[in-house]
Structure 1
Amino acid sequence: MSLPPQAQWPTGDVEQLEPLVARVLAPNASPYTYTGTQTYLVGTGEGLAVIDPGPADPAHLEALTRAIGESPVVAILCTHTHRDHSPAAAPLAQMTGAPIIGCAALHIFSDEPRVDAPFDQDYAPDRALTEGEQVTGPGFTLTAVSTPGHTSNHLCYALEETGALFTGDHVMGWSTSVVVPPDGDMADYMASLDKLYAREDRIYYPAHGPAVEKPKQLVRGMAGHRRARERQIVKLLTEEARPIAALVPVMYKGVSEKLWPAAGQSVHAHLIDLERRGMATRSGDIWAIG
């Protein structure tokens, strides 16, 4: 997590990243979306797949319509159903006639406050993909890679022809992913990082931030960062039992206080994982080791 850079970003423009991949940036920059949600167009003029159509923002939908032009859309795919990723799927499907194919619907009702984008309760796919299932179009094949953790329904998509992987919010170069209980799960997130590390993808295209040109190096670093955070939690709680609100200022010293609520959610996810493994206990809002 970090505050978005102070710069003008090409929202609404089509950026051709490689022959089969183009990108359109939505105008929704924030501390949780960085410069905004990046919608990817995969394919050629003979047929396209749209990955993470983004928010149902009229300007973004107009930009996507311009970018698509006369090309038929064979599928609209979402990596997960946070509201900065999937709400534009339904209006785009109406405009193009394309089916919504990808992650499963997820309906979470919780009294716990969310610091990132809440879930899109209206998302309704025509077909939900599971691990290894594919979507094909003229000259491209996208394979679903199940990566729960950030959300339980998170999918990445592998472009088989080029070795690119569309990683949604699971792996991003600008920030670690926020893991928010009860749906977000730290153990699942770590397992999904291990899963990607075992792959041989050439490049990652995340939903936020720049492309990742050294995927294994980044994933190794992210896993190491999470393990370091866990060790930090264990050390602090070994010294003294305390609530999450007392852990965050120590652990995230130097990080903008605006981002502490999100950091606290990831700390909570770590603690739940430690509790399941028999390493932490809680009494009310006080956590302890043992």
Structure 2
Amino acid sequence: MAAPTFLPLDDVRYGTAEQMSPLIRRVIAENPSKFTYRGTGTYVVGHGDVVVIDPGPRLDAHREALEAALEGERVRAILVTHCHSDHSPLAAWLREQTGAPTIAFGPHPRPAPGTDPIEPPDDDVEIEESTDYDFRPDVAAADGDVIDVVPGATFTAVHTPGHTSNHMCWALGEESALFTGDHVMGWSTTVVSPPDGDMAAYIDSLRRVAGRNDTVLWPTHGPPRRDAETYVTALIEHRLERERGVLAQVRAGRSTIPEIVEVLYADVRAELHKPAGRSVWAHLEHLVDQGLVGFDGADRPMLDGTYRPC
């Protein structure tokens, strides 16, 4: 796939608002991790009247940095890409402080009982991102809705399910820019974790973004991508290549996710095999939908299921 772009640690300035373009400023939260890279980037768009995108996690330092960045500004809308706990929690505080409405696709659905087996945690290894189930937007936006509350900064909602079912990118027409949340990250591939994460939807959404002709992608994590079509096309091929590997392992007689992970992720530290297993689960769901893989013992593909070729 296309090479990731890394932000040198010396170039990360926590607690300050950096001017990224004529309309866009970014404040990076000091919450680095294997999911967030150097941290969550909150975007402030406009001057005087502004829109805030992904207010970020509940960190006192990040809240104080946003307060400083927004001093003298009038927040007219709070856009949220999705409800993981590094993106949406500070939206409630910002709404209370400014009166601006929160706008998103909708809340994150809770998994149906029995669809997501709970695994015992490994020391220091998170299995996936935690979810802000409390977030419910004031305005539920649909794909194609236009948010025109700030002079010279017009946003269009672009629904991109896959990473989560409620993931929404936001297109800024005046700069031919797309704020991609976690759908496209500037430094890594994206976690797709069932039961809410959906590989088929994710690949379809990537194809949609690749065909949009945006000049620049602004991820919540990592640097901007100014090679949008090339980069996103490479992400698609990376996913399809991984899926071909999963199918080959099933056809070779490996019937469980741990068996497949042991082969496909042999060069990855063993303590990260459980998170990798969730990605394999998503690929298996997609292969089942295509009629290439079958499963036994349940009414849907499961993390602890048994798989066979069709």
TM-score, with structure 2 as normaliser:
0.88
The aligned residue for residue 300 of structure 2 is none
- Of the three residues 118, 129, 132, the one matched with 2:144 is 132
Question: What CA deviation, in whole Å up to 9, does each residue of 1:26-45 have, x standing for no partner?
Answer: 1111111111110000111x
Alignment partner, residue 286 of structure 1:
306
Tell me whether 1:245 sits opposite 2:258 in the alignment: yes
| Gapped regions of structure 1 (runs ≥ 5) | none
Q: Which residue of 2 aligns with 1:226?
A: 239
Paired residue for 1:255?
A: 268
Counterpart selection for 1:13 from 16, 27, 34: 16
d(CA) in 1 for partners of 2:269 and 2:225? Answer: 25
CA distance in structure 2 between the partners assigned to 1:47 and 1:134 by the alignment: 17
Taking only aligned residues, the RMSD between alpha carbons, in angstroms, comes to 1.7
89, 93, 107: which is aligned to 1:91? 93
Q: Given the superposition, is the C-alpha separation of residues 218 and 115 from structure 1 closer, same or farther in structure 2, using an over 3 Å criterion?
A: same
Q: Structure 1 residues 17 and 258, CA, compared in 2 at 3 Å: closer, same or farther?
A: farther
Q: 1:209 aligns with which of 213, 222, 235?
A: 222
1:184 maps onto 2:172 in alignment: no
Aligned residues: 287
Superposition TM-score, scaled by structure 1 size: 0.94
Show the 5 A alignment for 1:64-75: 64-75=66-77
- Distance in structure 2 (CA, Å) of the matches to 1:77 and 1:256: 37
Q: Supply the AA of the counterpart residue of 1:29.
A: P
Name the aligned partner's letter for residue 145 of structure 2: E
Match of 2:154 in 1: 141
Secondary structure in 2 aligned to 1:161?
Answer: helix
Task: Report the equivalent of 2:129.
Answer: 117
Q: Is the 8 A contact 1:241 1:289 kept in 2?
A: no
Does the residue aligned with 2:222 lie in a helix, a strand or coil?
coil
Q: Which moved more, 1:107-116 or 1:63-72?
A: 107-116
- State the alpha-carbon separation in 2 of the partners of residues 112 and 181 from structure 1: 11
Assess if the C-alpha contact under 8 Å between 1:21 and 1:42 holds in 2. Answer: yes
Provide the C-alpha distance between the structure 1 equivalents of 2:255 and 2:7, rounded to a whole number of angstroms.
34
Residue pair 1:12, 1:24 contacting (<8 A) in 2 also: yes
